Structures are given as C-alpha cells and as structure tokens.
Structure 1
Amino acid sequence: MHASNPVKGSHGTDARQSIRYRRVWWNRAVRSALVATCLSLAACATKPLIPYSTDTPPLVLVPTSRAGVLDKRARFREIYCAVLEARGVTLPDYRPCEDALTRVGAEPAGTNVPVDLGQSRRHLIAVVVPGIGYDCFKTWLKSPGTVTKHLQQFGYDAIMLDVGGLSSSAHNARQIRDAIMAMQPPTDASRLVLVGYSKGAPDILEAVVAYPEIRSRVAAVVSVAGAVGGSPLANDAEQYQADLLRHFPGATCTSGDGGAVQSLRPETRKAWMAQNPLPPELRYYSLVTFPEPERISSILKSSYDKLSRVDARNDSQVIFYDQVVPGSTLVAYVNADHWALAVPVARTHTTIGSLFVTQNAYPREALTEALLRFVEEDLATSSK
C-alpha cells in the first residue's frame, strides 16, 4: 500500500499539471483572439491630441457634415432612469442612472412628462446587426439571451441577424436586405428597428440606401456605438489581423469577401457618406459610447491609448463624434466602453472578465428597454 502511493501521487500531479497547462493555453488563446478584435497592436501611449473632457459641446464639435443632429438626451435620460428605478437590482449589472450615462456639455432640461412603463403599443422589434467578427466568437461567447427575454415581457422583441463578420459593409448590406425580405411582413405599421452595433451601423446604412424595398418595413435605424465615420484604428490594421478571429476557440466563420477592415477606414466611410444621401423617409438615432477613462477594460487600454493620439474622447474603438449618424437624433452618451455596451463577456466567462475584460458589466437589459421605449414614444410624437 505504501509503495503504491508515490505512483498514484505522481499520476495525480501529472494530471493536475496537464489541466493547468491546458487552462493556461486556453486563456492565452482566448486573450490573443480578444486582442485581435481591437484591430490594432498595443501602442505606446502619447499625449492625446484632444484630451478627455466632458465639457465638450456635444454637437458643435461634430463635423459640419453632421449638422442638424437633434439633441434629445434629456428625454432619454428620464426614460432610462425610470426603467432602472423600476427594475432595480432585479436585472444584472445594475448601475445608478447617473453612473450609467455620461453628462457631456450642457445637457438640455428634462420634459417632466411621465414615463409609460407598460406594454408596448407598437410592438417594436429590435433587429440587431453585430460588429466585426461576431460570427467568429458567438459560439464561445454563449450569450445568455437575457435582453430578448426581458424585452418580451413588455411586448417588444429582439433578433440578431447573421452577417459576415469579416466581410465588407456592401456584402453585409445584401445579407441584411435578404433577411428582412424573408421575414413575414407585418400587417400593421412597420415595426423593425434596425440596430447597428459597431460595424453593424454602416452595414445597415448601406442596406437602406442600396435596397429601397426594405424601407417600408423599417420603423427606425439606430447606431449603437456605431462606426458611422469609421475608426482611425483601421488605418493601421490589415485584414489578416481580423482574420485571426477565424482561429478563435470554436470559430466556424469564414473570411467572406475580406473587406471588413477596409469598410472601417475613415476615408472609406466618409467617401461613402458623401456619395450616398440617407433616405429621408426613415428616422435615425445615435446612441454614443463616451466612457470615463476608468471605465475602459484593461484589455482595451492599449487601443484606447492609441486612439487617444487622435482624440481621448473614445470608447477604445471609435471616437465619439464618429458614432453619430448625419441628421439623426442624439439619444445619449453612455458611460461604457465599446465592448461593455453590447458584448457580455464577463457574464459568461468570469475568469476572462476578472483578468482582462474588467469593466464589462453594464445594465444592457434596462438600456435596450429604455431605447425601444424612447424610439416608440419619439416616433409617435413626431408623427402627430
């Protein structure tokens, strides 16, 4: 008996070492793939060309091509605060309203109009178009789907469209068109709210311009941390870096037409906007991420610092003014980094969250409910 113990202990030690080795390898693989989604390698921080400041006039500094943006942050704040207060800590990642939103410049006064938190009358459906590479890591992410479940309690709904995560905006615009036309057309007024997250925003804008047949089914278009004006990070990136996401654990994505990075370059986006006026019959909204610097996750610090060489008022991927759709309604400035707004990494991968995605917690369920309530109310009042 005594002689057998060292052998058993040795095997047990080897097994434990093997498990530790696989765990370390797995974490490194995941971390490398996560870094790839930042579209850039770590860069030495330099003094920002424009420093971080919430004293920024929110609309005056927006480029002149975006003139006519309507500021309705005050009403959205009233709705979002009401949702947060009513739902409270029953929803994940609760934050007080003042911490959930960033006050930038002189925010208009509130309306003091009561907020209706009952059932939706229009039964809006959020049709979400995700950002770059989402189809590569969605299996690993294992998103719990709590946003959709929450919305359905109040007569709303949400679906995620499958688009090419590594393809161009033109390629994905066709996929968006085909998906919308394949849906059962509503018997009443249009109910689809196209929500573009990150690169999903320009994908949607190209779709509504190129395919007029989908417009009658669309109630509104919303840019959520959208790369409407592109990102300077894409200027220093190449498609092969984005293609690293094909090696993400469990990834089944393809390179598609290989145009994702090119579609995100500011020159590409500005040229497209100059040549393609948006259809005036649709309503456009912009939900902008404008986080406090301490709200940037550790893994995103390098891309935040690199982008800060252009402007420190960024979410680690996109500068705040590049998220604004021309002629849209400004909904809010959200105190969350680019991933925290829409990608629940920390909820499903706690170790990754605690080590790398350190500021990923955000009340997304409450935010999405408030966004749809705001859009529904705004569409109703604007049509009167």
Structure 2
Amino acid sequence: MPANSSVIRPRRGVARLMAALACLALVACATKPLVPYTTNTPPLALVPASQAGVLDKRSRFRETFCAVLEAHGKALPDYRPCEDALTRVGTEPAGTGAPVDLGESKRHLIAAVVPGIGYDCFKPWLNSQNAVAKHVQQFGYDAIMLNVDGLSSSKNNARQIRDAILAMQLSSEPGVLVLVGYSKGAADILEAVVEYPEIRSRVAAVVSAAGAVGGSALANDAEQYQADLLRYFPSATCTSGDGGAVESLRPATRQAWMAQHPLPKELRYFSLVTFPQPERISSILKSSYDKLSQIDARNDSQVIFYDQIVPGSALLAFVNADHWALAVPIARTHSTIAALFVTQNAYPREALTEAILRFIEEDLATSGK
C-alpha cells in the first residue's frame, strides 16, 4: 500500500461526495445552455395573483410566521427576523391585524412530507435528528416523512404515497394529513391525489414547498445515469428504482401531465415559493442559479418561481431561501461542507413548519372544511 494512500482515499471520497452533491443540484448533469421552454402564461409572472387563478394569502401567512418566530424562533436554530425570512415581491396585501392562535392545536394536523430527488440516498449522511417533528409535537401537531424511491418516477412514488397513507392508523376525524411536497415530492403528491381517490378523505391539504410542479429546466439536459451518482453518498443504500426521476422533472413531462389531469376540487392546495435574494444562494448552487437565469433570474437555483405554484392554489409566501435551505439542513450536521460549499443553508425550518400548520388549521376552520 502506498504511503500516501490514507491521503488519497479521503480526497477521492470528498471528490465523489461533491460530484454527488452537484448532481443533487442537477448542475453537473446539465451541460448545454438552457433554452426557454414554451408554456402557458405562468402564474404571477406576468399578471397579479388574482388574475392567474391564485389566491394571495401572503399577508395572513406573514402575520402567522412572524408571530411564531417572535414567540418561539429565537430559541430555535437558524433564527432570522421575519423581514429577512420572507421576500416581498410586488404589492403584498395588507395584514388582517387579527391575533394568531399559538396555543394547542385543536385539529392535530400532521405534516406528511414527501422529499425531493435522491433523498433516500443521502438521508443517512444528512442525519437530521427529526428536529421539525420534535418542535411541532409540542403544540399538538406532528410531522412525518413518507418514504419514496428517490430515483424513481412520480408515477412510481404516487403509488408508494397511496400505500403509506392507507397503512396509517389515523383518527376518525376528517382529513388530518397535510401533504407537503418538497421539490419533486410535489409532483409525486399531485399524481397520488389524482390517481388514488381513496386517499383524499384522509388529506386536509396539499402544499407545494419549492415544488417542481412545472418541472425544472435543469432536467432537460440531465440523464438518469448521472442522477444515479447520488447512490455514492456515504452510507447510501438507495437503488435506481424504475429510473424515471429525471424524466419526471422535465418541464414538458410535468406540463403535459398537468394538462391531462385536473386536480381534485375537493382538496385545498397551497404554494410556498422559494424566491431568494441573490446573496442568499449557497456557493455550490450559484452555477445552477446562473443556468436557470438564462430563462428567468427569479429562481431558487433549481426551479423558477412560477413553476413552484400549484394552479388554483393559495399562495402562502415567497421565502428568502435557496432550494436546499428550505428543507435540507446540511449545515447543521456538516459544518465543513457548509463553510466551503453550502454557505447559505441556515433557515428557521421548525418555525416555518409550525406556521404552515397553524395557517392551514385556521384556514380550514374559517372555510368550514
């Protein structure tokens, strides 16, 4: 064995890890200049929310999130003042001024999160400690992760979501599940609620959180074998699944599916959009941000802002965080990687999740759902 092999191996390990991280951003997989894709008028891009069929609920959500941050945020990791946590875009409606109920939940909603591409590959490495669930449980809520194949198609994962929901032992009350789709997870959830009507009675709401509802242009020049680099994360046990993850993220795929599959009207839909200030984008994500900016600079490094919005949904907020910062807490367990590459990863996710659940509970109560 060469004398310097102990040095070579770690370097190779770091190189492999960074290649996998880059493909998680889809930037290492996309090698050609991006070409603007043809789509219908995107919500909020050219017209006000009301004219795009989107309900603008930003003012009340801001009141809710600010109240949660003020009451609980300073005791939690990654605290930010409310004005820095959310991005103001255009004319935001005035707040209601109504008090925010910060007491025990009456409905006991459960945030059931469907993660993005490759999550089961890097989950052991991430080691997130279930911090969000532990926080919201204090107030009568809960948060769980639904296990799906990180490298499979949305069609495959929709079936897995259906099976997981039907296997849950839930109360006899009307729907308590708030399905939160992060990144590709939003597409997986939308396919599930369309294809499997038997799960709808258990669902209180659907939330796109930086969701790839309209796909990501970065996927147009990526191939599945490149995404399979995510299988080389430390301790990864994931498989390639049906090999359809990248295809499911392509804008043409997502837009064709949306055009052919009307969403169930009995469910309520919400959109939480990541719209960071440029200085809030991590260094490793700046290249993918620049690539997407060839189409539209209003992106979170992975998805353009209007592609994150579920048609006909209620817009909760524009969040001042890049795509990873919203839901992938790399910096909390990997400080060296954070200092060098994932430089803007801090975000008050626990407070954000609490605010989402409190807002939806109030919204359901006032709508009589």
TM-score, normalisation: structure 2? 0.93
Matches of 1:116 and 1:16, distance apart in 2: 64
Equivalent residues of 2:179, 2:206 under 8 A apart: yes
Q: Quote the residue 1:302 is aligned against.
A: 287
> In percent, how many aligned pairs have the same letter?
75
**Structure 2 SS opposite 1:153:** helix
Amino acid at match of 2:20: A
1:129-140 superposed matches below 5 A = 129-140=114-125
Q: Quote the residue 2:155 is aligned against.
A: 170
Q: Quote the residue 1:233 is aligned against.
A: 218
Matches of 2:265 and 2:300, distance apart in 1: 29
Q: Quote the residue 1:224 is aligned against.
A: 209
> Over the residues paired in the alignment, what is the CA RMSD in angstroms?
2.5
Which of residues 2, 7, 15 is equivalent to 1:28? 15
Q: Count residues with an aligned counterpart.
A: 364
Equivalent residues of 2:68, 2:351 under 8 A apart: yes
Evaluate the alpha carbon distance shift between residue 290 and residue 107 of structure 1 in structure 2; reply closer, same or farther with a 3 A threshold: same
Give 1:39 shift. Answer: 1.5
Amino acid at match of 2:311: P
Equivalent residues of 1:58, 1:104 under 8 A apart: no
Equivalent residues of 1:42, 1:302 under 8 A apart: no
**Structure 1 SS opposite 2:326:** coil
Matches of 1:179 and 1:166, distance apart in 2: 18
Structure with bigger gyration radius: 1
Q: Quote the residue 1:194 is aligned against.
A: 179
Matches of 1:45 and 1:95, distance apart in 2: 37
Matches of 2:83 and 2:34, distance apart in 1: 29
Evaluate the alpha carbon distance shift between residue 322 and residue 47 of structure 1 in structure 2; reply closer, same or farther with a 3 A threshold: closer
Q: Quote the residue 2:39 is aligned against.
A: none
Amino acid at match of 2:310: V
Q: Which runs of 5+ in 1 are unaligned?
A: 1-13, 50-56
Which of residues 350, 354, 358 is equivalent to 2:335? 350
Equivalent residues of 2:29, 2:222 under 8 A apart: no
**Structure 1 SS opposite 2:307:** helix
Q: Quote the residue 2:80 is aligned against.
A: 95
Amino acid at match of 1:41: A
Which of residues 37, 42, 56 is equivalent to 2:24? 37
Q: Quote the residue 1:53 is aligned against.
A: none
**Structure 2 SS opposite 1:158:** strand
Q: Quote the residue 1:82 is aligned against.
A: 67
Equivalent residues of 1:88, 1:94 under 8 A apart: yes
Which of residues 134, 149, 156 is equivalent to 2:141? 156
Equivalent residues of 1:169, 1:202 under 8 A apart: yes
Evaluate the alpha carbon distance shift between residue 194 and residue 92 of structure 1 in structure 2; reply closer, same or farther with a 3 A threshold: same
Matches of 2:27 and 2:10, distance apart in 1: 26
Equivalent residues of 1:193, 1:222 under 8 A apart: yes
Amino acid at match of 2:246: V
Equivalent residues of 1:37, 1:132 under 8 A apart: yes
Equivalent residues of 1:45, 1:306 under 8 A apart: no
Evaluate the alpha carbon distance shift between residue 45 and residue 170 of structure 1 in structure 2; reply closer, same or farther with a 3 A threshold: closer
Give 1:248 shift. Answer: 1.6
Matches of 2:314 and 2:289, distance apart in 1: 26
Equivalent residues of 1:120, 1:154 under 8 A apart: yes
**Structure 2 SS opposite 1:339:** helix
1:375 aligns with 2:360: yes
Evaluate the alpha carbon distance shift between residue 60 and residue 264 of structure 1 in structure 2; reply closer, same or farther with a 3 A threshold: closer
My pick for the range that moved more, 84-93 or 321-330, is 84-93
Which of residues 261, 269, 278 is equivalent to 1:284? 269
Q: Which runs of 5+ in 2 are unaligned?
A: 37-41
